Structure 1
Amino acid sequence: MTSLFDTVLLGGLRLPNRVVMAPMTRVRSDRDGLATASMATYYAQRAGAGLIISEGVQPSLVGQSNPLTPGLYTPAQVDSWRQVTSAVHAGEGRIFAQIMHAGRISHPDTTGHQPVAPSAVAAREVYVFTPTGPQLAPTPRALSTHEVADEAQSFAAAARRAVEAGFDGVELHGANGYLIGQFLSGNANLRTDRYGGTITGRIRFAVEAVAATVDAIGADRVGLRLSPGAGIGDAIDTDIAEMYGALLTELVRLSPAYVHLVGNDDEVLLGLRRAWPGTLIVNPSAANSPVPSARHDAQRWLAQGADLVSFGRAYLANPDLVERFRADLPLTEADPDTYYVGGDDGYLTYPTYGPGPIAPVSV
């Protein structure tokens, strides 16, 4: 039986285990979108993962969602990430950058720009973080057909910078109602050009973004995260099985390193496992599921065909998660009050199993 502790090939990497640290927004960058020394310590503390996927990194200023999130669109940002990747590699870890374009889940008070999206449709009753507090998501500007192609290329440009910064690869964020997910959505994408209407039209942006990124840095360094049917950010999927099945069929010819699925509908995830012949990462945990059930959930999905399993809150609160799993040790629950408040408390202060917090990593 496949174990969490078996090695596995992912693209050109040999991973020492099948445990993945999922991408989690932590809003700890500086105001210029630069990665910090605390971020280097945070990721290095978790270098025992088979693979770390970073928090969402914006490929452009207009693609930024929240304040104090990092970017990969300026030379200074690229340089700032080198301390992170070097610290992870010094701990014999592997790290991909998640490239996240917010689309309409943004605000002019954060970026100075009107958000862009497939259509001029605001996310209903969705609040976004801004420098002055949460505000309702504004109505975005619909991208022209030419601009859509440019935004697909922005993922590729950020991927090149990620490799320059020392990342082992990138994951395109197509989940949770951000720009790629907005193009897939039946209520956020009302376009009548080649990027909308039919299933073929709605998946086109995702395919072009992956294809451009594969061309830029190579297929074995590229992954894509999807959340079929999640409805986050008021991006409501229709024809879920057919649309995501069609998307995976198109991705097969591009041969990315993996597809990363997050969701709670076992039937949908199992159907997509059958449709995807390549490496599959599954993140099955519901937002309200107890962290102590994480290992059980992981083994269940490995038995059902997942190649790797990703963990969010469990990794946030347990930097030594692989060793806790291996020794069947208790897991610490994450404190949601410290998720987005900045500072090192609730960021660098979660302990390994034993007395005292993890010591900071010298970078």
Structure 2
Amino acid sequence: MTTSWKSALKYKDFRFLWVGTACQAVGFGMDNVALGWLVYELTSSPFMVGLAAALRMVPLFVLGVLSGVIADKVERRILLRYVTLAGGLVMVLLGGLLITGFNSVWLVIFLATVAGASFAFLLTLRQSYTYDIVGPENSLSGLSMLQIGSTAGAIFGSLLAGLLIEMVGAGWQFIVVGFTYFISFIVLFGARSSGQSASQISRSVRSNLVGYLSLLREYPILLILMCLASITEIFGFSHMSLIPVFAKEVFSVGSVGLGLLTSIRQLGGFIGLSVLAAMGDFRKKGFLMFVIAISFGLGQMAVFKADSVILYGGLLLFLNACAMSVDTLYKTLMQQNVPNEHRGTAMGSWVLSIGTGPVGHLGVGAIAGVYGAPFAMLFNGLFLSVCGIGTALSLPKIRKLP
């Protein structure tokens, strides 16, 4: 059966989830710009920018599986509301401390890491609840549309962030970030059902944790997809932590330029996801996944030769189109290749995989600190391309996933 990008939007609960996600993403986009800029302002160190991004992602690795098994036990839409509220409170606290003069870089990094804990649960719950609402046939469309909402919000947030930093400073901007989370919390009350594909089988959190390794042994495709997602996270998504360095040192465009570059990157994700959503229930997802991952690596290598901010912005557009598309394919294939009652755990496994990102952020920050940001992009891009080609050739079963 052929589906279109509009198929997921026919579900009322998904529309509320989509709007709530977009609202929170406005704040998350602002947060991303402000955190990198603030840390670089306080330290003038590319490594510290990478460290901040890395530590923020540690909770994703630590809590990934736990968030999944909890998502398989509880009412996902209810927990999603209160995790969103908790994230907003952390942002308001951070903003308040900055306004009152507590501008220690370690305080900023600590609270960003705490916010990362709520984000680990947000990611798991959103992806699995989307599948609950739209069902397996509309899963690629639904997950793509959800990410489009997130990307659209982040584009607006990134643009707004640069202006707010210039006008009122980072502290008040984090207050605004918290406000966007609170709006999302209210909107999510509009989603009233568990979803047509919600599992009717409920196991305890303990039994799900104990049985996790058995699940990986029984469904090795999940483990392989986790490894591929992790490689992409480490050697692909880590390029984001270098955007403040390119903005401030390489091209000297300031905080407003940083916000613009970040929004351009997000626009690339919007374009890539729109194309993916329009493909509907595409039957060669495994092959497409490898093509996009390899292209992602090649795009990073091209940044090494970018000699103008315009060219760099165009490459960021392409890189995030690849990044968001391949990531959505990972999430879709993971949920499609485990039993329905373990889809939350599958998404927790995806969160665990992207939680390995700190390795990439630390690595790319260290390389950039010694050899410069352009060389760091070349190194990561080469590694990702070689891994993509090698795994595509050696894993025909994954390549042929429908």
Q: Taking structure 2 as the reference length, what is the TM-score of the superposition?
A: 0.27
With a CA cutoff of 8 Å and minimum separation of 6, indicate the structure with the bigger relative contact order.
Answer: 2
Q: Which has the higher helix share?
A: 2
Q: Taking structure 1 as the reference length, what is the TM-score of the superposition?
A: 0.29
